[in-house]
């Protein structure tokens, strides 16, 4: 990988210098990963942001403890299959969130 050439192309496309881009490319080439996300984490965050609700509000909507939702979003635990099914439905049909009602 020619880091200089790639850096120049990316910065030319961006129209500006990008701090630490060379360092990031070198780390990538060396196989050093920054933060990685699971598909489940990305799905949870995507749905919550699409609905424009806080973690606390979303946890209430899906009747889940806030700490559990945070664990899911931070990748400490994977949500159960039923939760993933609900999230996939909400991803495709966010209007369904209104049918969940208010938390108890």
Q: What secondary structure does DSSP assign to 46-83, as a single string?
A: HHHHHHT--HHHHHHHTT--HHHHHHHHTTSSPPPHHH
Give pLDDT tens digits for 7-37: 999 999 999 999 889 998 998 888 887 778 8
**Statement: residue 102 has pLDDT above 80:** no
All domains of the chain in start order, with CATH: 1-34 (no CATH), 39-100 (1.10.260.40)
Which tokens go with 36? 């990685």
Confidence of residue 52 (pLDDT cuts 50, 70, 90): very high
């Amino acid at each position: 990988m020619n880091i200089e050439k790639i850096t120049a192309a990316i910065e030319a496309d961006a129209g500006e210098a990008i701090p630490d881009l060379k360092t990031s490319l070198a780390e990538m080439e060396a196989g050093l990963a920054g933060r990685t996300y699971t598909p489940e984490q990305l799905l949870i965050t995507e749905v919550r942001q699409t609905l424009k609700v806080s973690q606390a509000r979303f946890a209430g909507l899906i009747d889940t403890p806030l700490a559990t939702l945070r664990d899911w979003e931070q990748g400490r635990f994977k949500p159960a299959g039923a939760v993933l099914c609900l999230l996939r439905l909400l991803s495709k049909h966010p209007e369904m969130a209104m049918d969940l009602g208010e938390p108890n």
